[in-house]
Amino acid sequence: MAKVKTTFFCQNCGTQYAKWQGQCNACKEWNTIVEEVIQKPEKSDWKSPTSTVKKASVPLRIKDIDVSKEPRLNAFDDEFNRVLGGGIVPGSLTLLGGEPGIGKSTLLLQISLKLPYKTLYVSGEESQKQIKMRAERINPENNHCYILTETKTQNIFKQIEVLEPDIVIIDSIQTLHSDYIESSSGSISQIKECTTELIKFAKETATPVLLIGHITKDGNIAGPKILEHMVDTVLQFEGDRNHVFRILRANKNRFGSTNELGIYEMQGSGLREVTNPSEILISKKDEELSGNAVAATLEGMRPLMIEVQALVSTAVYGTPQRSATGFNAKRLNMLLAVLEKRAGFRLGAKDVFLNITGGITVDDPAIDLAVVAAILSSNEDMALQKDFCFAAEVGLSGEIRPVQRVEQRILEAEKLGFSTIFVSKYNKISLKNSAIKIQMISKIEDLVGFVV
Ligand code: TYD
Ligand code: MG
């Protein structure tokens, strides 16, 4: 009997080894190296030998390649189209990653139900009945969407040859397995092989393929990094599962910018596109409450007004607590130190809690000034004026630093009816006769005069 050929792969980064070892040399992770059976495929192809689909590729001079012939497919979802850079590119492979339960299957099923093209939704995770039940909540009337529950790639391609769909969706890449490789589904060599087959299929037939990928605890797409290198576009679906907002962003995009962002709201009947996020993220209260401040942030290319809430109270225990939701806790500590040193606030014996409303995470430094204003307001127990908003970074010496694309932020604040926006003195602004008052400040002490 022929000896079974095996090799060792790091399950974290995909590096191959001839023998087992405890730590991966490449990514330095421990206990990630696993033995996998490999068998060189005689013919690693998506087509069966009798296939009639044959579109051999020939070299073309670059100027002769016609790009206009292949317009992008409209996904009939403005947020999704925008993140992809204007629609789905024929023949492209898109990977959608996200935590379990965040709504990946819902998003792609919803898109396949909206498309007027023939769509094949392949699920290795749920039965046809389960998918049908979900589809009924979203959009029960669609005659172009086919559901297949299958995990073997060879069987999937057999069905594809019969059906000839315009777009293929795979839920998820970790459940697929190919006959050419003997190791179990979800292992590095299976993921690599299945993705290679799908890429071949997509490029040869110009059919776009959307893949769902699971992510690990630390937020990486489970499986090798190579998977992210192989596909054309990597999308990340994120949000707090206990909140309704979901953010779709592109981490890699061969056909467009990675600055775009899509926002959805999870509802009983699927995901709703949020076209004017700012209006939803700021609560419209009549009462003025202390500890609330609004920041004019940018998420990707979109301006987004976000509400920051702070609570400062006397510490009950010896060590004061500092906690931040949706904001970097280290940055919060830094801002507290700046307030203590530069503005003379004794916050050392106080608990400080900070929350970005809506369950979203912000890493735009322009939120700093709003965080500082919210903390000051809560500390003094005095509400800020409701129609104030902030857009500036705070430096270590208490200086108010300029932020990028400040004019776009000002225009958004003006549109939403804010009366005053606080920005850095060092921002160059050439806006003429705007209705909003632009308050320029240079030091944190300047802010203190306005808010407390
Ligand atoms: P799902 O798409 O199954 O997540 P994933 O594929 O990323 O693991 O989404 C599951 C969650 O979405 C589930 O907790 C229920 C919720 N949901 C709604 O709130 N409304 C809906 O219409 C649907 C279909 C799901
Ligand atoms: Mg799912």
The response to whether 103 counts as a known ligand-binding position is yes
What are 247's strand-pairing partners? 238, 263
Q: If you search the block for the tokens 């999870």, which residue do you land on?
A: 266
Residue of the nearest CA to atom 13 in ligand 1? 101
111 is in an annotated binding site: no
Residues within 5 A (CB) of ion ligand 2: 105
- In this predicted structure, the answer to whether residue 187 has a pLDDT above a threshold of 90 is no
Per the model's pLDDT, the better-predicted residue between 136 and 49 turns out to be: 136
Question: 50 pLDDT exceeds 80?
Answer: no
Q: Which residue did the predictor score with more confidence, 328 or 416?
A: 328
Closest ligand 1 atom to residue 100 Cα is: 8
What is the pTM assigned to this prediction?
A: 0.78
pLDDT of 40: 57
Residues 6+ apart with CB under 8 A from 368: 331, 335, 392, 393, 394
Residue 359 annotated in ligand binding: no
* Between 222 and 337, residue with greater pLDDT: 337
Residue 420 burial (C-beta neighbours within 10 Å; 0-12, 13-18, 19+) = middle
Work out the pLDDT band at 84, boundaries 50, 70, 90: very high
Class level of CATH domain 77-275: alpha beta
For residue 360, the tally of other CB atoms under 10 A from its CB is: 22
- β-partners of residue 266 are 271
Distance of CA 303 to the CA centre of its chain: 17
SS3 77: coil
282 pLDDT exceeds 80? no
Q: Of the candidates 355, 359, 368, which has an alpha carbon nearest to the alpha carbon of residue 311?
A: 355
Q: Which atom of ligand 1 is nearest to the CA of 125?
A: 6
- Residue 112, phi then psi, degrees to nearest 5: -65, -25
Ligand-binding site membership of 116 (annotated)? no
What is the CA 62 to chain-centroid distance, rounded? 34
pLDDT per residue over 331-347, tens digit each? 999 999 999 998 888 88
Q: Which amino acid is at 12?
A: N
**Cα separation of 444 and 367, whole Å?**
14
Q: What is the C-alpha R_g of the chain?
A: 26
The whole-number pLDDT of residue 223 equals 64
CA of 15 from ligand 1 middle (Å) equals 34
> 102 among the known binding-site residues?
yes
Question: 220 in helix, strand or coil?
Answer: coil
- Confirm if 99 and 238 have CB atoms less than 8 A apart: yes
Mean pLDDT of the chain: 87
> What is the interface pTM, i.e. ipTM, of the complex?
0.96
Query: Residue 283: pLDDT above 80?
Result: no
The yes-or-no verdict on residue 448 having pLDDT over 90 is no
Query: Is 398 within any annotated ligand binding site?
Result: no
Residues 6+ apart with CB under 8 A from 249: 83, 235, 236, 238, 258, 260, 261, 262, 300
- Model pLDDT for residues 346-394, shown as the tens digit of each residue: 888 899 999 998 888 888 999 999 999 999 999 999 999 888 999 999 9
CB neighbourhood size of 63 (10 A): 6
Rounded-to-integer distance, Cα 120 and Cα 419, Å = 51
For ligand 1, what atom is nearest to the CA of residue 269?
A: 22
CA nearest 438: which of 369, 404, 394, 389?
Answer: 389
Which of 106, 112, 221, 244, when mutated, tests ligand 1's pocket best, judged by the most ligand atoms within 8 Å of its CB?
106
User: Which pLDDT band, with edges at 50, 70 and 90, does 29 fall under?
Assistant: confident
Q: Find the ligand nearest to 173 CA.
A: 2
CATH topology match: 77-275 vs 280-451: no
22 annotated as a binding-site residue: no
For residue 134, the ligand 1 atom closest to its alpha carbon is 24
Query: What's residue 5's pLDDT?
Result: 78
Q: Where exactly are the structural domains of the chain?
A: 1-39, 77-275, 280-451
CA of 264 to the centre of ligand 1 (A): 13
Q: Assess contact for 195 and 187: CB atoms under 8 A.
A: no
Segment (H or E) for 311: strand 302-314
pLDDT over threshold 80, residue 46: no
Record the tokens describing residue 409, joined without a space. 């932020």
From the alpha carbon of 99, which atom of ligand 1 is closest?
A: 7
Q: Ligand 1 centre and the CA of 271: distance in Å?
A: 9
Per-residue CA distances from 167 to 68, 89, 279, 284 (Å): 19, 10, 35, 42
Q: Is 417 annotated as a binding residue?
A: no
pLDDT for 184 equals 85
The H-or-E segment that residue 169 falls in is strand 167-171
- Candidate from 72-86, 146-160, 266-280 with smallest mean pLDDT: 266-280
User: What CA–CA distance (Å, rounded) separates 367 from 394?
Assistant: 9
Ligand positioned closest to the Cα atom of 138: 1
Nearest Cα to Cα of residue 91 among 178, 191, 210, 190: 210
Report how far ligand 1's centroid is from the alpha carbon of 50 (Å).
40
Distance CA 411, CA 417 (A): 10
Least confident of 39-53, 152-166, 232-246: 39-53
Architecture of domain 280-451: 2-Layer Sandwich (3.30)
pLDDT of residue 2: 57
Q: Which of 10-24, 188-202, 396-410 has the least mean pLDDT? A: 10-24
Show the ligand 1 pocket: residues with CB < 6 angstroms.
Answer: 98, 100-106, 134, 137-138, 266, 268-270
Please give the C-alpha separations between residue 316 and each of 136, 311, 325, 378, in angstroms, as whole numbers: 52, 14, 21, 17
Ligand 1: nearest atom to the Cα of 137: 22
What is the C-alpha to C-alpha distance for residues 104 and 129, in angstroms, rounded to an integer? 18
Centroid of ligand 1 to alpha carbon of 101 (angstroms): 6
pLDDT in tens, 160-181: 999 999 999 999 899 999 988 8
Average pLDDT over residues 99-120: 91
Closest protein CA for atom 10 of ligand 1: 101
What's the gap in Å between 261 CA and the centre of ligand 1?
20
What does the DSSP assignment read for 89-153? PTT-EEEEEE-TTSSHHHHHHHHHHH-SS-EEEEESSS-HHHHHHHHHHH----SSEEEEE--BH
